Amino acid sequence: MSHSRAIQSKGSHRCVLRALDRRIEEVVDGTHGKLACPHCMEHTKAFRLCHGAKNSWFDSHRRFLPNDHAFRRNKNAFKKGEVEMDDAPPYLTGAEVWNRINGYPKITENGAPRIDGYGEWHNWTKRSIFWDLPYWKDNLLRHNLDFMHIEKNFFDNIFNTVMNVAGKTKDNEKARMDIALYCRRKDLKLKSHGNGNMLKPKANYTLSADQTKQVCHWVKDLRMPDGYSSNLSRCVDVNRGKLIGMKSHDCHVFMECLLPIAFSSLPTHVLNPITEISHFFRDLCCTTLNKDDLVKMEEKIPIILCKMERIFPPSFFDSMEHLPVHLPYEARLGGPVHYRWMYPFGRFMGYAKRSVKNKARVEGSICASYLHRETTHFCSHYFKNFMLTPQSSRNEVDIETESLPTTLSVFDQPGRHSGRESTHWLSDEELRSAHVHVLINCNEVQPYLDSFLHTYQLSESNSSAYIHANFPLWFRQKVHEEPLSVRNQHLRDLSLAPLRCVKEWHTFFANGYKFHTHAWSQGKRTINSGVHVKGLTEGGQDDFYGVIKHIYELEYNSTSTEKKIVLFYCDWFDPSRVGTTVDSKYGIVVIRMDKRYVLFDPFIIAHNVQQVYYVPYPTSRTDKRGWCIAIKTKPRGRIDSNDVETDVPYQVEEMSHVNDVIEVEEVVRLQDNEAGLEQVDPNNISSFQGEMDEDTIDEEEYNEEGEGEDDSEEEFQSSSTG
């Protein structure tokens, strides 16, 4: 009986395509155990936890710091009584690796003998076939660390530990026993109760039960733009205080944008390292990377990891918490990570799973479907481009710009509206404001505006009110005095005010964004009404943030061509310090939602805005009430259909300012004194009493060695903040 018939006889016609089991893959690739890091290899400082019974990379990152760094001499915040004198492990060249493995067998299917040194100074089980390529040993970056899964696993560990998720947290009873064995953190040690039970003090890097529920309800109520992430409200289990069923991209978005907001109620010495690691991943996956900033990131990531080592238990630091120390180095060699990460392959595997129609012939079904897809894609080049297909993104807009007559640049803005059309009559104030906004944003009008400012000796800082009151009439007189030409005729048409009756829609697609009016977004799980307009200065101090109230299409009278332009009527938030604050350290923009811009200037051209969404704080603190974080989004499509990127993971376009110095916060205590003690299962701590006595001896040795070991760290704090 054939294999397919055997399956059919059992009545099972399901086929699940999945990647190799992680444990098998680790053994085959040699990325398991203490030597899991392919860069550190035999120079690793990973060790096996006594009670956690797993490998830990705790206190493995001080060696990457400068030799004069205070963390290297600190005997209290990391492994107790230990200083770090070793340098960072060297990166092996291709020739050095080749000299090590050139005698290994190529395949191991027939039970190749165990290679000498396996598990001691290497994890190699064979010689890869790639070494047969003549240029392979000359490649600077022969393999890439899996950024997608490193980020996901790092997020899972942080989230589950801070949320204290049962069965997932890295701060369980065994972790506390390891803390007593390896660290000097007396406030986190298990405490003996009079009846023989043990009590676990609550750490201040975990949230309370009420705070956990607040975060869960906050995630459940989150509203983000279409295509930004999946519906996170479906992943929330409020009763158990955990997130379930989150995809890798959901973790990607949460890690880079939402994590510092979700845990904003944590103490500063805990929140800052979490915020810094969040920004580290966000900057590292930018579409454009700066070499100098990558060098800074390579210098700062060890400090960030060391700051986390001062807080979280040793069980927190598995291989995924160690590998980020090598990511900036790989980015300097390989460029932006979106050319090297796993998201495209994950999407293709999903497509392959969905394309299986014949469960008895899985491989052939995938091949036939893929061949059909390639054939239709090839044939599509012989047909007109604008055809809505299931593969087309709803954010894509196809406009045949070659057929458009020559006109002013302000009217040459492709885009499309959606939904029911209605009409609206502008008031005198709205008409005047819309007309002035179109004039000052037209490139062909800019020379006239400069002449107007020079004539009346006005500066850009104090000319806004005068321009709105006098420039339209001055411009109309100016263009009618000039000789008539094709270009002058367009300017004459523009100098006249637009028609008072305008068309209105609730949805508009532009720049790869999908925009909604705020009223249309009510009652939906997504929101697309937030907008951001970049100011003239860097740093975001004069940027404008608002929400779309109306979407209007203005039309000008013209004797030659149609002159139409789409404007957003926005409700702007107060851009002053009263309503908008920008964190100079992390670049976080905080908006006071009940403060509005006092001047009447509601219009903005649709193609001059970026999309944002506003996220409130999950805390009930009064000083955070009414404030929201403004988070920018990335376009999900392109206007030009010849350069469409659909289903792209979230990325920011440019790196934020990478600080030269990372501030080191003082860690006074790690126990939450306001919380009670949690009773733990005695079965998990049967052997703890003897270790507690041994640790007491260590504490006495610590008292004899001399107090003042923290002085060097305080010294570094003052120099860092200075």
For residue range 43-55, list pLDDT tens digits in order: 999 999 999 889 9
Give the residue ranges of DSSP H helices in 391-463. Answer: 428-440, 446-455
510 three-class SS:
strand
**Do 228 and 528 form a contact (C-beta atoms < 8 A)?**
no
The DSSP H or E segment spanning 468 is helix 464-481
Least confident of 102-116, 124-138, 157-171, 354-368: 102-116
Mean pLDDT of the chain: 82
Quick one: CA dihedral 240, 246, 252, 256, positive or negative? negative
How far is 329 from 35, CA to CA, in rounded Å?
Answer: 19
Question: Is the pLDDT reported for residue 223 higher than 70?
Answer: yes
What is residue 197's predicted lDDT score, i.e. its pLDDT? 78
Q: Is the pLDDT of residue 697 over 90?
A: no
Mean pLDDT of the 390-404 span:
46
Q: How confident is the model at residue 537 (pLDDT cuts 50, 70, 90)?
A: low
Helix axes 268-284, 327-334, angle to 10 degrees: 20
User: Residue 31: what pLDDT?
Assistant: 59
Lowest mean pLDDT among 19-28, 347-356, 357-366, 658-667: 19-28
The arithmetic mean of pLDDT across residues 109-132, rounded, is 80
| Closest-CA residue to 614 (of 598, 634, 632) | 632
Say which range, 17-26, 146-155, 348-357, 496-505, has the weakest mean pLDDT: 17-26
666, pLDDT greater than 70: yes
**What's the rounded mean pLDDT across residues 387-396?**
49
Residue type, 527: I
- Burial call 491-526: b when 16+ CB within 10 Å, e when fewer: bbbbbebbeeebbbbbbbbbbbbbbbbbebbeeeeb
Predicted pLDDT at 401: 41
| Residue 713 clears pLDDT 50, i.e. is over it | no
pLDDT in tens, 549-560: 999 999 998 766
Q: Report which of residues 223 and 562 the model is more confident about.
A: 223
The predicted pLDDT at position 466 comes to 85
pLDDT at 693: 39
Q: How far apart are CA 84 and CA 68, in angstroms?
A: 11
Task: With cut-offs at 50, 70 and 90, classify the pLDDT of residue 90.
Answer: very high
Among 168-177, 249-258, 336-345, 682-691, where is mean pLDDT lowest?
682-691
pLDDT at 125: 83
**Shortest CA distance to 58 belongs to which of 181, 162, 140?**
181
Confidence of residue 568 (pLDDT cuts 50, 70, 90): very high
Instruction: Take residue 566 and report the two structure tokens written for it.
Output: 């789409």
pLDDT of residue 64: 96
What would the pLDDT profile of 104-117 be if each residue is shown by its tens digit? Answer: 888 756 666 678 88
E strands, 277-400, in order:
none
Least confident of 197-206, 369-378, 709-718: 709-718
Note the maximum CA span of the chain. 101
Confidence of residue 398 (pLDDT cuts 50, 70, 90): very low
Quick: pLDDT tens for 54-78. 999 999 999 999 999 999 999 999 9
> Which three-class secondary structure state does DSSP give residue 424?
strand
**Residue 378 pLDDT > 70:** yes
Find the mean pLDDT for residues 706-712. Answer: 37
The residue-averaged pLDDT of 217-234 equals 91
Is a pLDDT exceeding 50 seen at residue 707? no
pLDDT at 632: 92
Least confident of 322-331, 363-372, 633-642, 707-716: 707-716
- Cα Rg, the chain, nearest whole Å: 31
Q: Phi/psi of residue 565, each to 5°?
A: -150, 140
What is the percent of the chain with per-residue pLDDT over 90, rounded to a whole number? 48
Angle between helices 486-495 and 464-481 (to 10 degrees): 140
Could you read off the pLDDT of 451-488 as tens digits, one per residue?
A: 888 888 877 666 778 888 889 999 998 888 888 776 77
Helices 291-309 & 268-284, crossing angle to 10 degrees? Answer: 150
- In this predicted structure, the answer to whether residue 351 has a pLDDT above a threshold of 60 is yes
Question: What is the pLDDT at residue 678?
Answer: 77
Q: Output 699 or 374, whichever has higher pLDDT.
A: 374
Report the amino acid identity of residue 332.
Answer: R
Q: What is the pLDDT of residue 695?
A: 39
Separation of alpha carbons 478 and 448, rounded Å: 8
Determine the Cα–Cα distance for residues 313 and 309; give it in Å rounded to an integer. Answer: 7
Contact 30, 123 (CB under 8 A): yes
- Domain boundaries defined on the chain: 346-379, 419-425+501-638, 427-499
Q: Report the pLDDT value the prediction gives residue 720, as an integer from 0 to 100.
A: 35
